[in-house]
Structure 1
Amino acid sequence: MVSVDICICTFRRPFLAETLASVAALAIENVDVRVIIADNDITPSAQGLVDSARAGFPHAIIYVHAPSANICIARNACLDAASADYVAFIDDDETVSPQWLGALLATAQETRADAVLGPVRAVYDPETPEWMVRGDFHSTLPVVVNGAIRTGYTCNVLIRRVEPLAALRFDLSLGKSGGEDTDYFYRLTSLGGTIVEAPQALVYEPVPADRAVMAWLVRRRLRMGQTHGKLIGGSRLTAAAVASAKAGFCVAMTGLTAFSPIARRKNLLRAVLHMGVVGGIMGIRPAVHYGDGAAQSASNPIH
């Protein structure tokens, strides 16, 4: 029987109860499932919620207090507590489809890949701007470059626990700014690990009002670019020149698509992403996006 540890990092988020309810409803057979919850708050604020969820829950739940306000501390605590054949990560503001885990496992066993990514489908509030819904700016999909997936994310992934990849941990220096998952999976592929996608392994993520604005998307793209910039090898001067040229092209395209509410914003976000790459190459420190400092950073759309 194959075993899976489903890891969920949490920080002061009551939605965790709905995440756990969706895990309890998984349609899965002949799989030994445990759920590992790492509470990243300075106090064990999620422990009561987790204890309440245990009643009638179909799988073992392990609660780990992993303070504080650094997402990598929580992610590493999950990995340290894991002992299964596979580790899966989802977020505490998501729900999984009943077929989610089965689809990830089927793809992993068929391809023998070291990591399998599933899509995260955004669930938009009726008040969300029309351009955001039509352009689907919040859903997450694997990025394929030249036929391969070089990096990934932790909001919907299954990872095979084999050496030397099982020894990988998340970089604590990225635990407040974000980008730790991008860095982790870049290191996984650099060690020879392979990443594939499982399109049927659906996870759903509601989009709260504070994220249904352009400013939030700008901050996120900027941080993503900064992470990629930090990880670029080779000539950094050449890389900065290439990223600057791409940013300039995207700015020009933003102007050319000014009358399209979706294309204009997508081109602008691509420009911001490449600007972030330049910033990352130049060593600009990213903003705080996790923990108590995140609210202060969010008051300014660009850092």
Structure 2
Amino acid sequence: MAQRISILLCTFKRRSVGRTLKSLAHLRAPTGYVIDIIVADNDATPSAEHRVRSCVASWPVSYIHAPAFNISVARNACLKIARARRSDWVAFVDDDEVVPVDWIERLISCAVSTSADVVSGPARARYPEGTPRWMVEQDWHSNWPELRGIGQGVAGQPQTAHSCNALMRLAGTRWESNDFELDRGVSGGEDTAYFFALSRMGAQFSICKEAQVFEEVAPERLKLRWLGRRRFRMGQSYAASAPGFLARVRLAVMALAKVVYCAVVTLSVLPFEARRNFWLLRGVLHLGVLAGCFALPQPQIYGAAVDDGYPPQRANG
């Protein structure tokens, strides 16, 4: 009997979801697998319904309206349908990305060959003309996953993944009923915390560098301020990797030392834009870790009205 892979796609007021669905329509299914696509619309009104239902796809596409201006609500709505279908696997992709025809094939092949429960792939940025040179050269907008430490899962440091490009075993697992945290659904980092939780439950992680997806970087993201806010939130989310008081204290001490170091280096290279911004953004990340250790409130991102062009849909790191 063929195994089922459900592709989970959450959207919020993005016309680019049509381009994402068009690329998903051309996916090749691995031998012995079937594919379906589940789209959750997080807008207050079903604004994406016509784009989703008008998409001509090779695979069944289901649309669900999951309003709340909270991305976790949309993710959980997708998972609920996948559970009802007894999907063996679920794949995550964002509504501003396009995927190659062999994307799922590569993820499944890696999962089978490594006996992994979660496989991550890179999300590569495509920069528009006029992007600052330092931003392109340092490639701040791409997401290159990596495993933490030598061990994996509960045998070593806890692992995580990001919803921009990931495959996860679902049916019959210990984490089948796990949901995304609603409290993180307006701030971002809900995917980081979700996969950290799976790691602690014994999920094994792997990386497939060949399973790449591609994202056009929006003009409003080509700002140092945008990147700073993103890095700070990433640091806050990363703090979820330290369970318990003592672990958070140790992480906070390390983060503080790194903040001080980055601040010193930033000041020393102040006249040089590329090097200055590199160390400034590293410092902001560690500052976010420090804030996360002290459980300081995270900024609202999803559904927020922000005056600097910060997108309401995603700020994953």
- TM bucket by the smaller chain? over 0.9
How far apart are 1:266 and its partner, in Å?
Answer: 2.0
Partner of 1:177: 187
How far apart are 1:243 and its partner, in Å?
Answer: 1.2
Is residue 205 from structure 1 mapped to residue 215 from structure 2 by the alignment?
yes
Pick which of 214-223 and 245-254 moved more. Answer: 245-254
Equivalent residues of 2:25, 2:58 under 8 A apart: yes
Structure 1 residues 212-253: Cα deviation after superposition (integer angstroms, max 9, x where no partner): 111111000111111223552342344322211111111122
Unmatched 5+ stretches in structure 1: none
Q: Which whole-Å CA distance do the structure 2 matches of 1:239 and 1:172 have between them?
A: 25
Partner of 1:288: 300
Unmatched 5+ stretches in structure 2: 153-158, 311-317
Which residue of the other structure, out of 100, 108, 116, is the alignment partner of 2:119?
Answer: 116
Q: Which whole-Å CA distance do the structure 2 matches of 1:253 and 1:147 have between them?
A: 29
Which residue of the other structure, out of 258, 263, 276, is the alignment partner of 2:288?
Answer: 276
Q: Which whole-Å CA distance do the structure 2 matches of 1:19 and 1:117 have between them?
A: 18
SS of residue in 2 equivalent to 1:72: helix
How far apart are 1:148 and its partner, in Å?
Answer: 4.7
Once the two structures are superposed, the pairs formed by residues 56-205 of structure 1 within 5 Å of their partners are: 57-82=57-82, 83=85, 84-148=87-151, 150-161=159-170, 162-205=172-215
- TM-score w.r.t. the length of structure 2 is 0.89
Equivalent residues of 1:120, 1:205 under 8 A apart: yes
Which residue of the other structure, out of 45, 51, 54, is the alignment partner of 1:52?
Answer: 54
Structure 1 residues 87-141: Cα deviation after superposition (integer angstroms, max 9, x where no partner): 0000000000112111001001111111000000000001111111111111001
Q: What residue identity is the alignment partner of 1:100?
A: W
Q: What residue identity is the alignment partner of 1:155?
A: C
Partner of 1:6: 7
Which residue of the other structure, out of 39, 42, 51, is the alignment partner of 1:40?
Answer: 42
The change in CA–CA distance for 1:119 and 1:148 in structure 2 (over 3 A counts) is: farther
- TM-score w.r.t. the length of structure 1 is 0.93
What is the percentage of aligned positions where both structures have the same residue? 39
Equivalent residues of 2:30, 2:104 under 8 A apart: no
Q: Which whole-Å CA distance do the structure 1 matches of 2:143 and 2:273 have between them?
A: 20
Partner of 1:248: 260
Partner of 1:25: 26
Equivalences, count = 296
How far apart are 1:259 and its partner, in Å?
Answer: 4.9
Equivalent residues of 1:87, 1:159 under 8 A apart: yes
Equivalent residues of 1:38, 1:78 under 8 A apart: yes
Is residue 215 from structure 1 mapped to residue 225 from structure 2 by the alignment?
yes
Equivalent residues of 2:232, 2:288 under 8 A apart: yes
The change in CA–CA distance for 1:36 and 1:282 in structure 2 (over 3 A counts) is: same
Pick which of 161-170 and 253-262 moved more. Answer: 253-262
Q: Which whole-Å CA distance do the structure 2 matches of 1:6 and 1:153 have between them?
A: 14
Q: What residue identity is the alignment partner of 1:130?
A: R
